[in-house]
Amino acid sequence: MLTLTTDFGDSGYVGAVRGSILAIDPEARIVDLTHGVPPHDVRSGAFALFSAVPYYPEGATHIVVVDPGVGTDRRGIALEAGGHTFVGPDNGVLRPVARKLGGIDRVVELTEDKYVNEDISRTFHGRDVFAPVGAHLNVGVDLADLGRELREDELVDLSFGEPWIEDGTWTTEAVHVDRFGNVTTNIQGGTVLDEAAWGATAVVETKDLRLEAALHRTYRHAEPDEPTLVIGSAGFAELAMREESFADRHGIEVGDDIRIQFLPREDPTEPRADES
C-alpha cells in the first residue's frame, strides 16, 4: 500500500504523481491520505501524518510532498519507523510521526539515480523523485539501496513543542487549526484529565482575548456560541465551538501562544475526569 500526502489540492499534480507510481508498479494500491495540506505548510503536513498514519497497517509506504524547498539543496530522504516507510523532503515533515511510531529505525538520503525518473524537474520532485522511489520500495527495493545512510541528528527537526505550567497556568500554542476551525494545542489530553473534571471551567487567554471555556466530552455537549475545551481525536486538548469556527471567531492562527488555567472546582468532592 502507498499513501499520498501533499499540498496539491485538486490540481493535476496529484494525477502526475499517481502516474509516476503506476508506471513502475501498475498494481499499486494508492490511498490519498490528504491533498488538503495548506500550500507550503510543512507543520500542517506533519500534523496530518501524525494524526493518520498510526491507523494504517504496518508495511505501508507513505509518500509526502509538502516541499517548499523543492529544487534547492534540501535533501530527499526515505526512512523507516514503527513498521512504516516514508519518502519525502528533509524539512521536518516526517519527524513528528516518526517519533510517535517509536523513533527512526533507518534513514537514507536519496542519492541513487536508478530509482528516480530520468528527467527530473527542479520544481516537481514529488513526481520525479519521491513517487518513483516510493513505487520501487513498494515492489521490494530495500531502503539501503536508495542511497547514503544518515544519522537521525543530521535531519531537519520539527516538533509540536511542549507546554509548560507555572502557578497552575499552562502556556501552550496553537499547533493546528482544522477545517472546522478547532484549535489544537500541544497539551496532552491525559494531562488535562489529571487536572480537571468534565464540566470544569478554564480561563483562556491569547492575544488580547480572555474568555472562559468548559471542558466537555464532545463538541455537542457545549451550548451554541459557547467556547469549549475537548480532547480531540489526535489526543491533544482543543479549543472549539459547537458548529462554528473557534479560530475564525477569535482570530487564532497556528503558532499563537495560548494560556489556559482551570478555575477551582466549586464542589471539591466532585470526582475528577478519570474517576467519573
At 62-82, the pLDDT tens digits run 999 999 999 999 999 999 999
pLDDT confidence band for 264 (50 / 70 / 90): confident
Which residue bears the cell 494560556? 259
pLDDT value at residue 195 = 86
pTM of the predicted model, to two decimals?
0.92
Mean pLDDT for 4-9 is 99
pLDDT value at residue 265 = 66
Q: CB under 8 Å, gap of 24 or more: what pairs does 250-256 form?
A: 250/206, 250/209, 250/211, 251/207, 251/209, 252/174, 252/177, 252/183, 252/206, 253/174, 253/177, 254/41, 254/43, 254/44, 254/174, 254/175, 254/176, 254/177, 255/173, 255/174, 256/173, 256/174, 256/206, 256/207
Q: For the chain, list the domains and their CATH numbers.
A: 2-154 (3.40.50.10790), 164-275 (2.40.30.90)
